[in-house]
């Protein structure tokens, strides 16, 4: 069953043992011991497990690991690095500005949806740095939250957008 | 199959007093040098001892031990504020630990919005006693009167002589206080608690409590360093899954396998079946193999009695109920005879699910001296006892450690994952991690029960409420878990007595108004033959708000009064009036009769107001909604929610609780309903049980009515009933017709709109 596939996760090549049909999520959680992406539904309905593959948000719970061979997977753990590369920053910030915005507006309750919300919003802001409220709502509509934090996540995305597009920062 | 009690006995589980070996080390910050290391003995620690609550360390920091778990509601921060305030320590000097049956005090369940309300006072008392003990030590050291000492950030100095100062850490660092709490003050339903004889700090001197301190748990959640139960992995562990019929069947019938074809998973490497009684699980080395095995295992389940999917509410009304008169005040019958006007109707609310965003997960290791279980229970001690009962061992031989999962809003699936993991670990002799699949969580939840209500109220010719009557039909819940029942082959009876929420909640049904006569009757429906029930956030208060506050609104309409003015006229107390006024002012409520601005536009707009609570606190809400008269779709545009929970320890956390409650109520008002056919539940995921989505979310304006001099009461569920009422009343304002059943789906809206007489222009 050992597959000896190699996948690229957060800019590192990682050799993995899982069978090729194993959903990427289980590989990230169990073999690579990443705590960010998490199981929520296993059916691509909720967004708990989101990661970026070549910059595009996907649901790792329904993506066989074989499908990401030769591509670049970024999890929430790699977002700050990715931001530093994109912006050509010499030093990696401790957190992606969006993560900092989640702290600044205290957007999190239980935090279970936070991984997917952040990954999806990062994708949005890299494509559209200054989205309107309606563009944010449309982009985020595939990500569910059970605690009712949508309003504060909206604020966090708006705050991050403002900070990221402020040349003084 | 192994006889489990023998298996346990062989492993020495039943030996009393054996040393505890925990294969898990990053759990508990041990108080250094304490004479008995925390974690060595089964708890609960004695709540009368200060040392059970507080440890001061040499570096002048403190570890605070409490028995209420962080569910994402922010209670850790608020409880640290309470302790820090009495101790005169700053937030940066305070730490807490995970709940653990060998470490933390038993403060009952983290439910009923009790963390601050009931969990705060004993912690405050312990902190006050600790502070007094530290003052005594400093006074002795400096040979001065205690009254001459002042404390800043845990440094005690003699007033006017700054050279004479000593830190808490120097006074007692990592040593025990050996001080008892005194002055008995029982605080039900938590275990008997004793309060401080030490003076409590007057609220006028508060600097931490009442402040919107940022939450201590958020940074680690944001940088993905927070360890959730789903993240735990134990050396040598197997991955487990439960195997249940897809969707629960009639309660009482269990889940009985007639045959299990173990060959059906023979092609999956390392996968095997684990059984105890009717409980069936699968384990495998790789998680994906466990998922496949659970899916692939062929089981023939015994047929079960039909569920009343044709008309649940008729079945509830027709069942053999047990009546409880919850309130009987004045002469209701005479009141109605005297009434100039009365209004009344029948209201219906569905089963709804807790459905935590991360399905339940638990790890158990029964391979050592004790069974160690990590899970996201809302009450570690109760979970420990249930695991012990199912395994047939003494409670002291089970240790339960709390790890946060997703917000659960009541007790989703009780201890099912923890029990499943424990059973499987005993059986296979290795640690087992059980992760529920989404359909396990949706299909086998203990749902918030459906509710049927007959409500009526009457007013005199001046618009004064004079009579009120509420009849509610609902079933309650059991104290024990599905896996408990199927593993032991028993049907746990419904709980009787206890929480107000099993009988109709008298506080949510008319208590906010001046009423010379009021009658509230609970008709307890047997749960057998229906679905499993449990307390779901603000248990049944959404129903009471929906039914009771629409009735009040109808009377305002009869006498052509503005609904706010009508409520002000009839309000029963200042605190109710204050939340009503707060929400009216914030929403800039303009007085007019409901449904007085009806139009023939495609999009009808409406606004509504409502009152409600769960226990003790006071909630008021205003809703602005749009109704699409062609499609029946309701959009909640804006919500205002005012909450008086006494002293709000951390107002911004209370605000975020208000927002969460109002968004969740919008979801439950418009969308959520557990569906079932004649055999089983069919709401098994987020498509078959839709919830409110990002783009559908209203703007929410939270208002905290701060009461520095009142005791803190619940803040996690007390504005939901009011929110439901406001949305329902806004629907009438928009359309001129009433919704008597929720969720207010497009289909139901179109049905109701069809009954109205169309106004001109």
The string of pLDDT tens digits covering residues B664-718 is 999 999 999 999 999 999 999 999 999 999 999 999 999 999 999 999 999 999 9
pLDDT classification of B316: cutoffs 50, 70, 90: very high
**Pairing state of beta strands B518-524 and B465-474?**
parallel
Q: Which residue of B has its CA nearest to A65?
A: B288
Task: Using DSSP bridges, classify how beta strands B699-704 and B634-644 pair: parallel, antiparallel or unpaired.
Answer: parallel
User: Average pLDDT in the B310-337 region?
Assistant: 96
**Matching CATH number, A5-75, of 3.30.930.10, 2.40.30.170, 3.10.20.30, 1.10.357.10:** 3.10.20.30
For the stretch B342-386, pLDDT in tens is 999 999 999 999 999 999 999 999 998 899 999 999 999 999 999
Q: Work out the percent of chain B whose per-residue pLDDT is above 90.
A: 85
**How many CA atoms are closer than 13 Å to the CA of B70, on its beta-carbon side?**
27
Q: pLDDT of B187-242, one tens digit each?
A: 333 333 445 567 889 999 999 999 999 999 999 999 888 899 999 999 999 999 99
**B660 touching chain A per CB within 8 A:** yes
If you average pLDDT over residues A106-118, what whole number do you get?
96
Mean residue pLDDT across chain B: 91
Q: What is the residue-wise DSSP string for B255-293?
A: --EEEEEGGGGTTSTT-EEEEETTEEEEEESSHHHHHHH
Question: Are A14 and A24 in contact, with CB atoms under 8 Å apart?
Answer: no
pLDDT in tens, B616-667: 899 999 999 999 999 999 999 999 999 999 999 999 999 999 999 999 999 9
pLDDT interval class at B615 (50, 70, 90): confident
Contact B286 A106 (CB under 8 A): no
CATH number of B31-222: 3.30.365.10
- B526-573 pLDDT, tens digit each: 999 999 999 999 999 999 999 999 999 999 999 999 999 999 999 999
* Interface pTM, i.e. ipTM: 0.97
pLDDT tens sequence across A12-39: 999 999 999 999 999 999 999 999 999 9
| pLDDT at B134 (0 to 100) | 97
List chain A domain ranges.
Answer: 5-75, 78-164
Output phi, psi for B102, to 5 deg.
-100, 0
pLDDT for A151: 98
pLDDT at B369: 87
How distant is the Cα of B114 from the closest Cα of chain A, in angstroms?
17
Which of A109, A113, A133 should we substitute to test contact with B (largest number of B Cβ atoms within 10 Å)? A109
For residues B372 and B376, what is the distance between their CA atoms, to the nearest angstrom? 13
pLDDT of B357 reads 97
CATH topology of domain B312-352+447-753: Aldehyde Oxidoreductase; domain 4 (3.30.365)
> How many Cα atoms sit within 13 Å of B658 on the Cβ side?
30
Q: Name the B residues in 353-372 with CB < 8 Å from any A CB.
A: 355-359
DSSP conformation letters of B633-658? -EEEEEEEEEEE-SS-SSHHHHHHHH
Q: What pLDDT digit, counting tens, does each position of B70-94 carry? A: 999 999 999 999 999 999 999 999 9
Q: Are B697 and B666 in contact (CB under 8 A)?
A: yes
Class of domain B230-304+354-443: alpha beta
CATH 3.30.365.10 in chain B is located at 31-222, 230-304+354-443, 312-352+447-753
Q: Name the residue of chain B whose CA is nearest to A133's CA.
A: B695
Contact B74, B215 (CB under 8 A): yes
pLDDT at site B27: 31
Q: Which of B39-43, B182-186, B429-433 has the lowest mean pLDDT?
A: B182-186
8 Å CB contact between B635 and B697 = no
Cβ separation B218–A149 shorter than 8 A: no
Which of the four CATH numbers 1.10.150.120, 1.10.10.60, 3.40.50.300, 3.90.1170.50 does domain A78-164 have? Answer: 1.10.150.120
- Asked if B597 contacts B706 with a C-beta cutoff of 8 angstroms, the reply is no
Interface probe, candidates B71, B110, B224, B291, chain A, greatest A C-beta count within 10 A: B224
For residue A138, list chain B residues with Cβ-Cβ distance below 8 A. Answer: 695
Across B271-370, the runs of DSSP E, i.e. the strands, are: 272-276, 279-284, 298-301, 322-329, 341-349, 361-365
Residue whose token pair is 């708000």 = B545
The verdict on a CB contact (< 8 Å) between A22 and B693 is no
The predicted structure's pLDDT at residue B497:
52
Chains A and B form CB pairs within 8 A to the count of 174
pLDDT digits 0-9 by tens, B125-138: 999 999 999 999 99
Q: Hey, are the CB atoms on A35 and B226 less than 8 Å from each other?
A: yes
pLDDT at B759: 53
């Amino acid at each position: 069953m050992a597959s000896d596939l190699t996948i690229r996760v957060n800019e590192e090549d990682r050799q993995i043992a899982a069978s090729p049909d194993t959903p990427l999520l289980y590989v990230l959680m169990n073999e690579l011991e990443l705590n960010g992406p998490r199981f929520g539904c296993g059916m691509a309905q909720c967004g708990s497990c989101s990661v970026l593959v070549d910059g595009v948000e996907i649901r790792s719970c329904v993506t066989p690991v074989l499908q990401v061979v030769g591509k670049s997977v970024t999890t929430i753990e790699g977002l700050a690095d990715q931001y530093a590369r994109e912006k050509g920053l010499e030093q990696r910030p401790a957190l992606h500005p969006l993560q900092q915005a989640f702290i600044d507006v205290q957007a999190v309750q239980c935090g279970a949806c936070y991984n997917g919300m952040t990954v999806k919003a990062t994708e949005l802001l890299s494509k559209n740095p200054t989205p309107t409220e309606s563009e944010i709502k449309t982009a985020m509509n595939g990500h569910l939250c059970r605690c009712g934090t949508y309003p504060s996540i909206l604020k966090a995305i708006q705050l991050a957008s403002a900070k990221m597009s402020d040349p003084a920062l | 199959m192994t006889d489990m009690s023998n298996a346990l006995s062989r492993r020495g589980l039943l030996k009393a007093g054996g040393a505890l070996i925990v294969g898990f080390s990053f759990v508990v910050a041990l108080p250094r040098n304490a004479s008995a290391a925390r974690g060595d003995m089964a708890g609960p620690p004695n709540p009368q001892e200060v040392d059970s609550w507080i440890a001061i360390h040499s570096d002048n920091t403190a570890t605070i031990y409490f028995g209420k778990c962080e569910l994402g509601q922010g209670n850790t921060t608020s409880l640290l504020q309470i302790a820090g305030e009495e101790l005169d320590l700053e937030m940066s000097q305070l730490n807490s630990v995970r709940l653990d049956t060998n470490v933390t005090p038993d403060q009952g369940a983290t439910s009923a919005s009790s963390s601050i309300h009931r969990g705060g006072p004993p912690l405050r008392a312990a902190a006050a006693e600790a502070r007094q003990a530290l003052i005594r030590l400093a006074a002795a050291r400096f040979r001065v009167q205690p009254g001459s000492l002042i404390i800043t950030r845990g440094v005690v100095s003699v007033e006017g002589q700054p050279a004479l100062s000593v830190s808490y850490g120097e006074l007692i660092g990592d040593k025990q206080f050996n001080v008892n709490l005194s002055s008995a003050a029982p605080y039900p339903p938590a275990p008997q608690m004793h309060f401080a004889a030490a003076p409590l700090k007057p609220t006028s001197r508060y600097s931490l409590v009442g402040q919107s301190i940022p939450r201590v748990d958020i940074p680690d959640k944001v940088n993905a360093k927070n360890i959730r139960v789903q993240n735990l992995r134990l050396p040598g562990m197997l991955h487990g899954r439960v195997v249940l019929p897809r969707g629960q069947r009639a309660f009482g019938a269990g889940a009985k396998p007639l045959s299990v074809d173990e060959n059906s998973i023979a092609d999956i490497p390392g996968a095997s079946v684990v059984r105890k009684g009717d409980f069936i699980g699968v384990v495998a080395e790789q998680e994906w193999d466990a998922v496949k095995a659970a899916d692939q295992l062929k089981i023939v389940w015994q047929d079960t009695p039909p569920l009343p999917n044709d008309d649940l509410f008729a079945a509830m009304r027709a069942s053999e109920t047990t009546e409880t008169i919850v309130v009987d005040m004045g002469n209701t019958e005479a009141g109605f005879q005297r009434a100039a006007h009365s209004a009344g109707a029948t209201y219906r609310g569905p089963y709804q699910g807790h459905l935590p965003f991360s399905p339940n997960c638990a790890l158990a290791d029964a391979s050592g001296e004790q069974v160690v279980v990590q899970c996201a229970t809302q009450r570690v001690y109760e979970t420990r006892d249930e695991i012990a009962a199912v395994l047939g061992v003494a409670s002291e031989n089970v240790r339960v450690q709390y790890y946060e999962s997703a917000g659960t809003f009541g007790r989703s699936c009780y201890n099912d994952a923890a029990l499943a993991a424990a059973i499987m670990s005993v059986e296979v002799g290795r640690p087992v991690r059980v992760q529920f699949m989404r359909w396990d969580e949706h299909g086998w939840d203990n749902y918030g029960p459906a509710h049927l209500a007959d409500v009526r109220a009457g007013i005199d010719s001046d618009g004064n409420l004079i009579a009120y009557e509420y009849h509610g039909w609902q079933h309650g819940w059991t104290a024990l878990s599905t896996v408990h029942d199927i593993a032991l082959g028993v049907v746990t009876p419904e709980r009787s007595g206890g929480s107000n929420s099993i009988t109709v909640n008298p506080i949510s049904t008319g208590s906010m108004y001046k009423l010379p006569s009021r009658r509230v009757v609970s008709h307890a429906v047997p749960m057998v033959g229906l679905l499993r029930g449990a307390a779901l956030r603000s248990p049944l208060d959404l129903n009471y708000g929906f039914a009771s506050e629409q009735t009040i609104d109808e009377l305002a309409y009869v006498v052509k009064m503005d609904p706010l003015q009508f409520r002000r006229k009839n309000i029963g107390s200042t605190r109710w009036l204050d939340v009503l006024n707060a929400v009216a002012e914030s929403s800039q409520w303009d007085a007019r009769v409901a449904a007085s601005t009806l139009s023939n536009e495609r999009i009808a707009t409406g606004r509504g107001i409502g009152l409600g609570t769960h226990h003790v606190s006071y909630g008021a809400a205003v809703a602005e909604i749009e109704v699409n008269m062609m499609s029946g779709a309701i959009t909640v545009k804006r919500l205002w929610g005012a909450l008086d929970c006494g002293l709000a320890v951390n107002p911004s956390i209370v605000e975020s609780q208000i927002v969460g409650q109002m968004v969740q109520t919008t979801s439950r008002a418009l969308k959520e309903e557990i569906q079932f056919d004649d055999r089983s539940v069919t709401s098994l995921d987020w498509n078959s049980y839709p919830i409110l989505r990002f783009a559908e979310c209203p703007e929410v304006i939270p208002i905290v009515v701060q009461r520095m001099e009142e005791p803190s009461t619940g803040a996690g569920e007390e504005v939901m009933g009011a929110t439901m009422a406001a949305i329902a009343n806004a629907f009438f304002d928009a359309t001129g017709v009433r919704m008597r059943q929720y969720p207010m789906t497009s289909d139901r809206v179109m049905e109701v709109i069809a009954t109205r007489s169309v106004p001109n222009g």
